[in-house]
Amino acid sequence: MNPFSSEILLTTYSQCRSRSVIKTLPSSFCLNLPGLPMRVFILYTFLMVMQDRLTLHNFLTLSGSDSGIGHALAKHLDSLGFVVFAGVLDKDGPGAQELRQSCSPRLCVLQLDITSTTQVKEAYLTISEQLQNAGLWGLVNNAGILGFPADGELLPMSTYRHCMEVNFFGAVQVSKTFLPLLRKSRGRLVNMSSMAGGIPLPRYAAYGASKAALSMFSGVMRQELSKWGIKVAAIHPSGFRTGWSEQWDEQEQELLASLAAETRSAYGEEYLLGLRSYLVQLPSHCAPDLSPVLAAVLHALLATRPHGLYTPGKGAYIPLFIFCCFPLWFYDFFISKYFTLHLQPNMFGAWCVGYVAVEPEQ
């Protein structure tokens, strides 16, 4: 096929315009060059370079694509023409099957449990073989778990460890493994953190601590990887309805079984049983439209100067602004008005337990 054909030139030019990745030539560019051969040569060179850049921007790796934001993001990026390597926890699960059926043949579903060193290495080798020594433009660490939302004192240590293992250590392991491919392309590393990773929120001690660690990791990587031209961004979404599919019954039973009698008495049975009602009501307070998050990730991947921090979602920046700019007592008061359960711990029982504990012997 003739590389100077009008079909190739027009197709590449339209891709440049539709992607908004690069600035197109001014309309008077060709008219200002002397001679038709020179104009054709310059335009051809420009479009071939841009075609290489668009090919480079095509390859993206995404974890946690089974459901929620990761699932929607994989579909969205595929619809825009990217070659997406979608990592899933279960390659034979319903989420993976839907991706295969609804997306283009470009999308590749990979088995990727980010807590498994073996699966992370296998995914890296598979993607490296597909890239044929080329670079990977973007890595989106999206996989994560919420854990049962409850007071930090009530959460068993297994919840803290599991949240850190998935939300932090898993993302770090994937990042370290794929950084050589990002370095080749001077690409993008995008970490899906949370609003709870930037500000303290009640009942999210385990989840928030793991996401705060991920946010700090993102900030340090942004500074350290800039010397290779790699840009790093952290996404702090507010509440979105992502369809968490965790085993809440088992986690609740484990939480109740691990409580000491003194702690159970201090909080009271009514409060402990009311934690489930908070979980049931949680989706009704979350936005069903994921487009703000998808737009933030896309900007982080493609913008010439991406932000280091994105806060998609209605009012997501307000708590962060209050936390950073106001006294802590005011922030605590503000948060207490928005994150308060109708039920309160058994304060009388807690006072009695505390009083008996320090009562001198008769």
- Domain range list for the chain: 6-52, 113-245+288-338
- Which two three-digit tokens encode residue 261? 């009698």
Q: Which residues contact 202 (CB under 8 A, 6 or more apart)?
A: 151, 335, 336, 339
Q: What are 239-270's pLDDT values in tens digits?
A: 766 665 556 678 878 888 888 889 988 988 88
Does residue 314 contact residue 239 with C-beta atoms inside 8 Å?
A: no
Q: What are 179-216's pLDDT values in tens digits?
A: 999 999 999 999 999 988 999 999 899 999 999 999 99
What is the separation of C-alpha 112 from the centre of its chain, rounded to a whole number of angstroms? 15
Q: How far apart are CA 228 and CA 251, in angstroms?
A: 43
Q: How far apart are CA 68 and CA 355, in angstroms?
A: 47
Q: How far apart are CA 279 and CA 150, in angstroms?
A: 9
Q: Identity (one letter) of the amino acid at 354? A: G
Catalytic site residues?
A: 207
Q: For residue 32, how many other CB atoms are within 10 A of its CB?
A: 8
What is the separation of C-alpha 73 from the centre of its chain, rounded to a whole number of angstroms? 10
Q: Looking at residue 5, what is its pLDDT?
A: 41
Q: Is 73's pLDDT higher than 80?
A: yes
Q: Looking at residue 310, what is its pLDDT?
A: 94
How confident is residue 36, by pLDDT bands cut at 50, 70 and 90? Answer: low
Q: Looking at residue 244, what is its pLDDT?
A: 57
Q: How far apart are CA 66 and CA 99, in angstroms?
A: 9
* Bridging pattern class, strands 108-111 and 59-62: unpaired
How confident is residue 78, by pLDDT bands cut at 50, 70 and 90? Answer: very high
Q: What is the mean pLDDT of residues 8-16?
A: 42
CATH H-level, domain 113-245+288-338: superfamily = NAD(P)-binding Rossmann-like Domain (3.40.50.720)
- Which two three-digit tokens encode residue 55? 């090919």
Does residue 298 contact residue 319 with C-beta atoms inside 8 Å?
A: no
Q: How far apart are CA 305 and CA 302, in angstroms?
A: 9
How confident is residue 281, by pLDDT bands cut at 50, 70 and 90? Answer: low
Q: What is the mean pLDDT of residues 85-111?
A: 94
Does residue 200 contact residue 208 with C-beta atoms inside 8 Å?
A: yes
Q: Return the DSSP state at 136.
A: P
Tell the residue number behind the tokens 């012997």, with chain if given: 361
Does residue 296 contact residue 312 with C-beta atoms inside 8 Å?
A: yes
Does residue 199 contact residue 323 with C-beta atoms inside 8 Å?
A: yes
Q: Is the dihedral of CA 280, 284, 288, 292 positive or negative?
A: negative
Tell me the backbone φ, ψ of residue 52, rounded to 5 degrees.
Answer: -65, -40
Mean pLDDT score of the chain: 79
Q: Is 49's pLDDT higher than 50?
A: no
Q: What are 294-337's pLDDT values in tens digits?
A: 999 999 999 999 999 999 887 777 888 899 999 999 999 998 88
Q: Looking at residue 22, what is its pLDDT?
A: 41
Predicted model pTM: 0.77
Q: Looking at residue 316, what is its pLDDT?
A: 74
Highest mean pLDDT among 28-32, 130-134, 299-303: 299-303
Q: What is the mean pLDDT of residues 130-140?
A: 90
